[in-house]
Amino acid sequence: MPNVTRGGHMGGLLAYLVGPGRADEHRFPHLVAADETVTADHPVGVELSPVQALSIARRLDRARRLFGVEVGVPNYLRDVEGRVRLDDRGRKIKDPARPLTPGHVWHTSLSLRAEEGELADETWGRIATAFMDKMGFTADGSGRSPARWVAVRHGLSTGGNDHIHIVVSVVRDDGTKVDLWRERKRAQRAAGQLEHEFGLQILESRHSRVGTRGLTRAELTPGDNRTVEEPARWRLERVVRACAVASREEGEFVRRLRQEKLIVLPRYAHGDTSVVVGYAVAEPTRSRGRLVYYGGGRLASDLTLPALRNEWDRSPALDAEAVGEWRAAHRNRPPVNPDGAEVVPVDAAEVGRAAQDLQWWNRYLAQIPPDDRDQWARAAARTAGVMAAWSVRTEPVPGPLATAARALAKSAQRPAHTRWRKPARTLTAGGAALIMLQTREQSTAASYHLVLAQLTRAARAMRDAHTARGDLHRAAELDRAVRTELAAVHARYTPVPQAEGERQVSAQMQRVLDGALDFGSVAGNESSRRSASATENDRAPNDRDHGLDRSEDSGPQR
């Protein structure tokens, strides 16, 4: 809620909304609210026929045809996947042959989550009318001549979501055009106000201006008759996140991406190939005969290059090496530094060291105030990176670790201007991510249980912080991740029969999971209790504690 589109086929849109739908999912199409010029002949609550839909379309479009008003919207060039093409400065490219297309039809859908159930027609009618007032389409909302509109309801979506469609003519009854400046932002703001006014489930991503991108229809539908266990964008996000958190500097990140068989494309500053300002990655597998690249920001807001650089070591020498690695990747040449940390073997015994690193990480989390959204977002990003690293190395097909990593990553999305700036020598959980990503051999079940116990505690801390801030939907999502996904990981590493030592660790892990199910705990009290145990005498391990001596100087804490 909501999804705004523009077009030029009023009759075609209404015919679709009243028709059977793409999957024959439309049931009992009818109006729940409309402009009074429409309801005079087409009352609400009465099933509509295709003929009536075309009659409504003509009535909505009457002012535009009467006054001969032309309404155009920019027509951008698109690739074969339907994505807008950008120039070398990141600007959308208009189609020179047809820079504008008809845009007098304004359409949006307002949708609930499936778990919210269904609303009465009368409630949807009041929501639609209030939305139109807030958007300035009506006389009451704008103080001007009204624009004609209808709100159509035709049953649940294929995903079980109750929703309505609003169709509007952007030409008012006096022949003037509706002001649609920043229409999508205004629609989001109006939807947020309606969620509060009507007691609907608050979308935390809108309330806090955060969130992850949904999948497009093309991403949900694999090309070339291929079967896909995981959409390409989700896999790329998981691999990029794992490589980013496991890396200590930018050049290492580029090399890790290539090591994971991704195709890497740097984005240079305009007119200067010595400055890299962004990146895109693609899988070697082609979709419909071509590579499909995803920029870091398209994967997730915390995976842009500026956001990632906030976590890495920086110096003129390291920056110069990074540019060299970007160029080598772009030209498909060998790495500039073939002896980087990513090629150092990591013994399976080091998995236990990862658990120790995560224990220190949890002490750090215990000291973050529950209301510090930005620092918690950064903590979620790093913890999700550890889970992603473990998933990349051990899940040939995306499993519970991949799902849990995605759940945590949702808590990492924040606007760029609010991003928490990491002070020097702040823990990063990078050592644990490095070990989980770089350990090629199987470790003991006991070691994996210890790692999982610490990751579960971290997820629980983030859940409690969401609860303390009133972000109950996000808290519930994290709670489900612990109940289902992390519990499934625990079961995976619980052999039958168990050795005595493994049985003790498994019992410890089960106690952690049982505690995580206690959803009634208050984050503030929990954080205060844990903070009291983290005294000033506690010293975090240095960078060597992940088992790799990467330099003579221990460097910043990981």
Tens digit of each residue's pLDDT (9 = 90 or more) over 109-148: 999 887 788 999 999 999 999 999 999 999 999 999 999 9
Phi/psi-derived region of residue 263, left when phi > 0, alpha when psi is between -120 and 50, beta in every other case? beta
Tens digit of each residue's pLDDT (9 = 90 or more) over 472-485: 888 988 999 988 99
Q: Which of 62-71, 435-444, 517-526 has the lowest mean pLDDT?
A: 517-526
Tens digit of each residue's pLDDT (9 = 90 or more) over 214-269: 555 455 445 443 444 678 899 999 999 999 999 999 999 999 999 999 999 999 98
Q: Is the pLDDT score of 294 beyond 60?
A: yes
The predicted pLDDT at position 504 comes to 55
Q: Which of 19-28, 301-310, 394-403 has the lowest mean pLDDT?
A: 19-28
Reported as type and span, the H/E element at residue 477 is helix 472-480
Burial degree of 268 (CB within 10 A; 0-12, 13-18, 19+): middle
- Name the band, by pLDDT with cuts 50, 70 and 90, for residue 291: confident
Q: What's the distance, Cα to Cα, between the start and end of the chain in Å?
A: 40
Q: Is the pLDDT score of 470 beyond 80?
A: yes
339: its two tokens: 């002896």
d(CA 191, CA 2): 7
The predicted pLDDT at position 400 comes to 95
Facing residues of 263 across strands? 282
The predicted pLDDT at position 205 comes to 47
Using DSSP's 3-state secondary structure scheme, residue 167 falls into strand
Structure letter (DSSP) for residue 200: P
**H helices within 136-182, ranges in order?**
139-142
Q: What's the Cα-to-Cα distance from 227 to each of 219, 363, 391, 492, rounded to whole Å?
A: 12, 43, 20, 25
336: its two tokens: 């500039």
The predicted pLDDT at position 289 comes to 62
The predicted pLDDT at position 532 comes to 33
**The model scores a pTM over 0.75:** no
- Name the band, by pLDDT with cuts 50, 70 and 90, for residue 544: very low
Q: Is the pLDDT score of 210 beyond 70?
A: no
The predicted pLDDT at position 344 comes to 93
d(CA 485, CA 490): 9
The predicted pLDDT at position 552 comes to 32
Instruction: Return the HEC string of 70-87.
Output: CCEEECECECCCCCECEC
- With tokens 């304004």, the residue in question is 106
Tens digit of each residue's pLDDT (9 = 90 or more) over 410-464: 999 887 666 677 887 889 999 999 999 999 888 889 999 999 999 999 999 999 9
More confident residue, 344 or 231: 344
**H helices within 348-444, ranges in order?**
351-365, 373-394, 400-410, 430-438
- Name the band, by pLDDT with cuts 50, 70 and 90, for residue 543: very low
More confident residue, 437 or 291: 437
Provide the percentage of residues in the chain whose pLDDT is more than 90: 63
- With tokens 């801030």, the residue in question is 469
42: its two tokens: 């087409």
Show the domains of the chain with their CATH numbers: 3-69+104-201 (3.30.930), 226-343 (no CATH), 348-546 (no CATH)
Q: Is the pLDDT score of 492 beyond 70?
A: yes
What is the mean pLDDT of the segment spanning 303-312? Answer: 94
d(CA 27, CA 112): 17
Tens digit of each residue's pLDDT (9 = 90 or more) over 172-200: 999 999 999 999 999 999 998 898 888 78
